[in-house]
Structure 1
């Protein structure tokens, strides 16, 4: 067995399945592993999704491009994780995004029939898959809500508040300004300007990627939350 498959033990999709069972599983289901360099296209928008994609190594991002050519990053995924799980069993099973490798990456492809077999053989796998799909729907809903905010100030304030809810009032940005600008649907210079405004107004302290929330109440007012 390819040693990369043992990374599945750390993937939530296979949580609760003993490593020893992986040999049986991958002796029974059709699968393949493909490798990608940074910047390579893994799957393109509108491609038919008839295999489960599991990121075993590296990092990818999902992007959408509008008619004006503007590219928006929907999400960034790090190994080990599942890519586009919600589209495999959709009536219109086409990917709505481009999936691009952002590091040296290895991706496991499992045919749809193999996923159905796993769901029948391992109840824990079925539960993990349904949980993943639910979590992805929640993430998508949050993304849509954030993009519905009218101003960049609102979007950035909301982003910083959500980060601090998870990580505390002092945390490190996991992405570059360029990547964050893509995720918020704006140009990088505009994002840098709003960061500078927040610092000047005493709302946050910034040192490189290190952020400290100084005035949570003000950020909540900007984001539209009730203080």
Structure 2
């Protein structure tokens, strides 16, 4: 693959990406010399990766935002995630035996991606331990997050999903602050924000929780545990 020029902005964005941010400062110049890449520009609604296509290069989004979608056998589409720069696109599938993308990645706005072939990613992982560890950590965290999403999917009602989520977020504490805004939680539950807020206010009216914006106080932990 022909090597293209990385300007200072692109270089800065690369090292803000979770896969590369832990590369030590004194190794970054060598790291950039070792990267074999192409830079691809996309417009709004362009498809960066198509569901079912072989995923043989690492895509790092350095500008813009994409949404990933999955189509079922009936042709219905389900939004899976929103990914904003600087972040990688589906790195967990790069070294899979069946390395076909399970989703399509569609640009919500003009995007720029750095594309690194799999062989070069493997070389960088062998040469730069910090990159390898960050890569493995990123994939592990994604697997952990996916397991939580599967748990939420198994819960059928918003009430059950919210009870499970609040107990997990509380980490055993009676009072805590939500790490994510309600819009993001609603998206995680695949429901609308008004529907989520309605259930949350119902729980508050029943005396199970107290809500002050993102601050939560659990009054009846047993009631939450009995909801799922």
Give TM class, smaller chain: 0.7 to 0.9
Q: Which position in structure 2 is the counterpart of 1:8?
A: 14
Q: Supply the distance in 2 between the matched residues of 1:83 and 1:23 (Cα, whole angstroms).
A: 24
After TM superposition, list the pairs within 5 Å mapping 1:51-200 onto structure 2.
51-68=57-74, 70-165=76-171, 169-171=176-178, 173-174=180-181, 176=183, 180-186=185-191, 190-191=195-196, 193-200=198-205
Aligned equivalent of 1:212, options 203, 215, 222:
215
- Please name the residue that 1:221 is paired with: 225
Q: What TM-score do you get using the length of structure 1 for normalisation?
A: 0.77
CA distance in structure 2 between the partners assigned to 1:88 and 1:96 by the alignment: 12
Give the Cα–Cα distance (whole angstroms) in 2 for the partners of residues 160 and 183 of structure 1: 13
Say if 1:55 and 1:164 are closer, same or farther in 2 by CA, change over 3 A: farther
Aligned to 1:45: 51
Separation (CA, whole Å) in 2 of partners of 1:57 and 1:219? 45
Q: Are 2:36 and 1:30 equivalent residues in the alignment?
A: yes
Question: Is the radius of gyration larger for structure 1 or structure 2?
Answer: 2
Flag as ranges the 4+ runs of structure 1 deviating above 6 A. Answer: none
Query: How many Å separate the matches in 1 of 2:195 and 2:137?
Result: 36
Q: Report how many aligned residue pairs link the two structures.
A: 220
Alpha-carbon distance between aligned partners in 2 of 1:6 and 1:39, rounded to the nearest angstrom: 26
CA contact (8 A) 1:17 1:124 kept: yes
**Could you say if the C-alpha distance between residues 65 and 200 of structure 1 is closer, same or farther in structure 2, counting changes exceeding 3 Å?**
farther
- Unmatched segments (≥5 aa) in structure 2: 1-5
Deviations 1:68-119 (A, max 9, x none): 5554333333333222111001111011112233455432211101101102
**C-alpha RMSD over aligned residues:** 3.3
**Helix, strand or coil at the partner of 2:15:** helix
Q: Distance in 2 between matches of 1:32 and 1:163?
A: 40
2:13 aligned counterpart, secondary structure? helix
Query: How far apart are the structure 2 equivalents of 1:223 and 1:78?
Result: 34
Q: Report the CA distance shift for 1:159/1:61 in structure 2 as closer, same or farther (over 3 A).
A: farther
